[in-house]
Structure formats: C-alpha cells, structure tokens
Amino acid sequence: MDFLAAFEHELNLPTVEPERLGLLLGSLDRPNLDIEMYLKQIDELAWQVDEHLPDADDRARAEGLLSVLHDEMGFVGNEANYYLPGNSFLHRLLEQRTGLPITLSLLYMAVGRRLEIPLEGMGFPGHFMLRFQDDDGAILLDPFHGRSTAAAAVDVYLTEIFNQDVVLELPLDGYQVTADALILRMLNNLRVIYLGQENLEQAQAVLDFMVIIAPHETAFWRERALLRFQTGHFLGAESDLRRVFYQRQQIQHFIEARPAGVAQPFLPIFGTEQSMQPSRDTLDLMSVLDRIRQNISRMN
C-alpha cells in the first residue's frame, strides 16, 4: 500500500476522517500497517462505550465518554514516558491504551462521531483538549488527565495542571483545531522526537507527510532538502530546493547556484522577483545546492 498516496487522497475527500489520517501515519511505525483492522477496532470500541453511557442528553453522554474511556477502559496519558514516539500513533494507543493528549483526543473524536457526540479539538498552549458545546454552553474534556472543566475556566485549569500561570491571549474559538491542523501537530511531535534522537531518515519520512498536508510551508521543504542532503538522497534534495527557491520567488538563485563566498551577480529575470542581494540563508542554500550538484555529477 502506498501510504503517502492514500494520505493525500484522504485529504482531498469532501469529508475527512481524522482517525483514518492518523492511522495512515502509522506506516512510519509499521510499514505494512492494516488500517482497516484498526478502524474496525474503533467501531467496536464505540459500540462497547455506548453500552456504558447513560441514556441522557448529549452533554451527559460527552462527560460519560470521558469517564468510560479513561476510568473504565484505561485509555490514559503516558506521563511516565511522554516523549516516546509510540505515544503519537493511534494504532499504538489502541493496543497499549496510553498516549499523548492529542492522540487520545483523536480517539475520543472518532468514538464521539460514531455515537453522534460532537467533539472539537482544541489546541491550547502546551496541551490538547476537546470541546463539547450545546445551548447551555461549552465544557472542555481532558482525555490525558481524565478531567473536565467549564470552558470559561480553562486558563485556571491549565494553570493548575502546569503549576504555573497560563493566560490565554485568544478567544476560545481561536484555539479550535481543524482535522488537517490536528494531524499536522501529531506529525510535528514526531518530527521533534526523531530529530532529537538524530534519526534523520525517520524525520525525513515524517516530513514526507508534512509537505503533503501543508505544501505552502516553505520551511518544511527546506528542512526535508537538508535532511535528504545529509542522508545522501541528492536528487530529492535538489528537487526540494527547487521548490524552496520557487516559493521564495528566487528561482534564478536555484539556476545560478554557486558556493557560498562567491560573488552572486544579480540576474534581472522573472519580473516577480526582488532585485536585491541574496540573504545569508539563501547563500547557504545555494552552497548546499552546489554540493548536491557535485555529488549528482559524480553519480553520473
């Protein structure tokens, strides 16, 4: 299965299922992951949860969802080993029942949607939670700690769990996270972990997903180009740098790349480009590009 192609296909569907996207990321952990098997596990989990929920209004069922999944079924935050890569994978959460706030929230949203309990992802500073909202107002569910709070008291709640003052700068709606943004946050968590482990190949694989979900983020293409260069994937690195220079409207520098320190004559071509000397970063990338091209020449 081509997981990257499947990931891109899912993103382009009219209705995106975040849990399917999350499971597709599992190929970073297991190259032959059976996506459909884990989706069936979520279906079965939703059925089991429903058996334990009160026959009441949606608010009571939302609060019951937290109680059932966290307290009765043991889906909890992995506080002891927070930075393990496995915490960011939905299939691992289904197997081990421990994970990060965002992975747990993804599972809650998937179960909630199957039970017609509307939950929204909320990305607060340093913590991910869920919002349930009805005519009586909003409550926030914290799957990691198994607690809930009134939406109006979220800053007090975050101050308590972090043991330091947290002041939110945006209205509550400003922290709502789309499905795309939720998956991107999960990817960024993995990216940071793998870079910290100096696992460059795995970090590069994470960026393969990131450039699909956020193709206009030039920083992702730049970082993947440098990782590809470091790991000897020179053709891919050159291709990524072409994208970087194009998105920066500096394609003439891609064409005329020379080692850093060599005078770069301004070429007044392509009317959309700025008539200015290259920045330090541009010169550094041109130097890398020159070394990439030297390596490609030796390969040929």
Average pLDDT value for the chain: 92
Report which of 62, 75, 72, 189 is spatially closest to residue 127, judged by C-alpha positions.
189
The Cα-based distances of 239 to 19, 201, 206, 215, 295 in angstroms read 31, 17, 17, 14, 14
Structure tokens that stand for 275 in this block = 């008539």
Summarised one tens digit per residue, pLDDT across range 109-164 is: 999 999 999 999 999 999 999 999 998 899 999 999 999 999 999 999 999 999 99
CA atoms within 13 A on the CB side of 53: 24
The Cα-based distances of 210 to 11, 25, 132, 220 in angstroms read 12, 10, 29, 7
Query: Which of the four pLDDT bands, split at 50, 70 and 90, describes residue 90?
Result: very high
Q: What ranges do the domains of the chain cover? A: 3-179, 216-299
Report which of 278, 280, 220 is spatially closest to residue 244, judged by C-alpha positions.
220
Phi-psi region of 137 (alpha: psi -120 to 50; beta: other; left: phi over 0): left
C-alpha–C-alpha distance, residues 103 and 252, integer Å: 43
Summarised one tens digit per residue, pLDDT across range 188-218 is: 999 999 999 999 999 999 999 999 999 999 9
Burial 181-220 (b: 16+ CB within 10 A, else e): ebbbbbbebbbebbeeeeeeebbbbbbbbbbebbeeebeb
Average pLDDT of the segment spanning 165-187: 95
Q: What is the pTM of this model?
A: 0.91
Share of the chain above pLDDT 70, in %: 94
Contact predicate 38/91, CB 8 Å: yes
Q: So what's the pLDDT on residue 258? A: 56
Report which of 6, 17, 15, 5 is spatially closest to residue 182, judged by C-alpha positions.
17
Contact predicate 222/233, CB 8 Å: no
Residue 274 has pLDDT above 90, yes or no: no
DSSP annotation string for 23-45: HHGGGGT-TT--HHHHHHHHHHH
Residue 183 CB contacts under 8 Å (≥ 6 apart), including other chains: 18, 21, 22, 25, 213
